[in-house]
Structure 1
Amino acid sequence: MKWKKWLALSVALLMALMVAACGSSADQGNGDQQAASAVEAIKKRGKLVVGVKYDTYLFGYKDPADNQVKGFEIDLMKELAKRMLGDENKIELKEVNSKTRIKLLKGGDIDLICATMTITEKRKEEIDFSRVYFMAGQSLLVHKDSPIKDVKDTAGKRVATAKGATSGKNIQAVVPNVDLKLYENYADAFTALRAGQVDALTTDDSILMGMQQQDPNYKLVGEHFTQEPYGIGVDKKNKDLLEYVNKFLDDIMKDGTYDTLYKKWFKKDPPKDLPKDAVQKSPTT
């Protein structure tokens, strides 16, 4: 009789393992299906959710006059919503900064990041990036009467930048004895510069140009000491969304929409040699 009991136990165990395996395969299948249908999920929801800046003039800036978020990246994402969902207003613009944007993307709080985000090798380990849509370079913003003319002049000087950005490490690599001051965002860093609490502000020249337009008492100085290609951030599991975004960028660059938006915000023609693929080049890479 013992052999019958052992046989029954063996059959039961085998059945349990088969059920578990099937369940695992089903879960994996569901996961693959979800990962393959990010675009459809957005269409079903009827709204594109994008992480953008609220403090970066020309790119993503909340205008206190009407509380509307405006800028080049905002217009790009509205155009994406228009082509994906048929209406540029079917979009939710969530504020992000250098510290929060990847966390919010990976947590599913946003579909995309379009927030002056430099493509770096380290970030590519965490998320996917679209093709390059803007090329910037790190520079300095100072008061028009400042003696600082180049990055080397910041030795021993107080220089502001935003927490979580690559700008701080870059300038420290060039000028190890710079007195780096970190702020929550670039708006706070610019406020500190205008208040005389720091001697300079460093980040991408594209961001600094927006600050200069807001206050002509400040100027950009020195040569670029990094290459900063911007890409749209996409969760690694959403390959179909990445493909959709890349096609969108290719399309608007071919049909003239990109040129129109670029000239609207930067008052000049876009570069003709913008690469599709690039990563940050800096003193730390």
Structure 2
Amino acid sequence: MTASSTRRPTARKSRIVAVGAIAVAGTMLLTACGDQTGGTKEDGPTKAKTSSAPLAGKLPKAIQDKGVIKVGSDIAYPPVEFKDKGKVVGIDPDLAAALGKQLGVEFEFENGTFDTLLTGLRSKRYDIAMSAMTDSKARQEGKDPDTGKKVGEGVDFVDYFIAGVSIYTPKGKTQGIETWSDLCGKKLVVQRGTVSHDMAKSESKKCEKGGKGKKGKKISVEAFGNDLEAQTRLRSGGADAGSSDFPVAAYAVKTSGGGKDFELVGEQVEAAPYGIAVDKDNKELTEALRLALDAIIKNGEYKKIISKWGVDAGAVTEAKINGGS
């Protein structure tokens, strides 16, 4: 999920790119169907399976022994991660399964509210957080994106995708909205703690300062626990527009109401990487994930998954640690 500082995540701005390229690919989002992610405690790998994987020895011994990496994720963010007939599917679960083959472990997804995932990571509830989380300096350093004050120890990120933030409106009711400045005086729905949320707060301050006759007309921002709740609010007529990471916004536009509920407006902005968050004290796990990601990029599994979900324009060519700004 992208964030404003930004994106589904944190102080960061968002993603990229060739909106046209992804827009075309967006039509694929409807037909894509992710594999069941990782596994459950009942079907976890045996120790023999773990030791036979190419990169199993790179994992911390504690994880090798249990054969499972616990993943904190807000599983309500299609197409990145969501539930389909009770199974956890999407871009992140598919990538996690591919990483698991390299490391010889199952990635066990546990649902949580997005803005609590890093807290869960710090408390050791999860080994990693993987949830369309934007890699930003604020998150790396454990700082509040609004105040710049230290609020935690920070985390390390293994970057695996690039995405931007988009705005969408009810279909046929754009009200001339094309850019963030056009939202002055309007009501916007977002997911709490995301880049979109951070951007909305920042842009609202600009609106209040004036410019183009919009002095004092701040953005009325309503934040929800997950993006699906924000979409429901917009669909019911409770807001003028919504904002989320481009892959998510494109998926909502294509699928909600059979494509009749929403439309994308303007171009996506704030290109930034999604990162797998890892505790700063767990450098061994961070490096193991980096190696595993590089391995699936090189063997073609990564490209196959990204293409399957129609988001090729956000693909990375190598794994990086803390590449966000």
TM class by shorter-chain length? 0.7 to 0.9
Aligned counterpart, 1:231: 275
Q: Which amino acid aligns with 2:198?
A: K
CA contact (8 A) 2:77 2:227 kept: yes
Relative contact order, higher structure (CA 8 A, sep 6+): 2
Match among 153, 168, 171 for residue 144 of structure 1: 171
Q: CA deviation at 1:149?
A: 2.6
Aligned counterpart, 2:150: none
Q: For 2:221 and 2:274, how far apart are their aligned partners in 1?
A: 24
Q: Which amino acid aligns with 1:140?
A: I
Aligned residue runs from structure 1 range 63-102, under 5 A: 63=84, 66-85=85-104, 90-102=106-118
Q: CA deviation at 1:137?
A: 1.1
Computing the radius of gyration from Cα coordinates, the structure with the larger value is 1
Match among 124, 132, 145 for residue 108 of structure 1: 124
Q: Percent identity?
A: 29
Report whether the alignment pairs 1:44 with 2:73: no
Q: TM-score, with normalisation over the residues of structure 2?
A: 0.68
Q: For 1:154 and 1:257, how far apart are their aligned partners in 2?
A: 40
Deviation by residue 1:162-217 (Cα, 9 ceiling, x = unmatched): 11223222123234311111111111111111111111111211221221222212
More helix by share: 1
Aligned residue runs from structure 1 range 1-285, under 5 A: 39-63=60-84, 66-85=85-104, 90-125=106-141, 126-130=154-158, 132-146=159-173, 147=175, 148-176=177-205, 177-215=218-256, 216-217=259-260, 218-266=262-310, 268=312, 271=315, 276=320, 278-280=323-325
Q: For 2:194 and 2:312, how far apart are their aligned partners in 1?
A: 27
Q: For 2:317 and 2:294, how far apart are their aligned partners in 1?
A: 14
Q: For 1:108 and 1:197, how far apart are their aligned partners in 2?
A: 38
CA contact (8 A) 1:135 1:274 kept: no
Q: CA deviation at 1:80?
A: 1.9
**Higher mean C-alpha displacement, 44-53 vs 155-164:** 44-53
Task: Specify the SS of the correspondent of 1:219.
Answer: strand
Structure 2 unaligned spans of 5+: 1-57, 142-153, 206-217
Q: Which amino acid aligns with 1:158?
A: K
Give the direction of change, closer, same or farther, for the CA distance of 1:200–1:106 in structure 2 (3 Å limit).
Answer: same
Give the direction of change, closer, same or farther, for the CA distance of 1:261–1:144 in structure 2 (3 Å limit).
Answer: same
CA contact (8 A) 1:259 1:269 kept: no
Q: Following TM superposition, where does structure 1 have runs of at least 4 consecutive aligned residues deviating by more than 6 angstroms? A: 272-275
Q: Which amino acid aligns with 1:39?
A: P
Q: For 1:103 and 1:119, how far apart are their aligned partners in 2?
A: 16
Q: CA deviation at 1:127?
A: 0.6
Q: For 2:314 and 2:241, how far apart are their aligned partners in 1?
A: 28
Q: Which amino acid aligns with 2:132?
A: T
Task: Specify the SS of the correspondent of 1:253.
Answer: helix
CA contact (8 A) 1:114 1:233 kept: yes
Q: For 1:275 and 1:150, how far apart are their aligned partners in 2?
A: 32
Task: Specify the SS of the correspondent of 1:110.
Answer: coil
Q: TM-score, with normalisation over the residues of structure 1?
A: 0.78
Q: For 1:224 and 1:134, how far apart are their aligned partners in 2?
A: 15
Q: For 2:109 and 2:270, how far apart are their aligned partners in 1?
A: 29
Q: Count matched residues.
A: 239
Q: Which amino acid aligns with 2:190?
A: T
Structure 1 unaligned spans of 5+: 1-36, 281-285
Coordinate RMSD, CA, aligned: 2.2
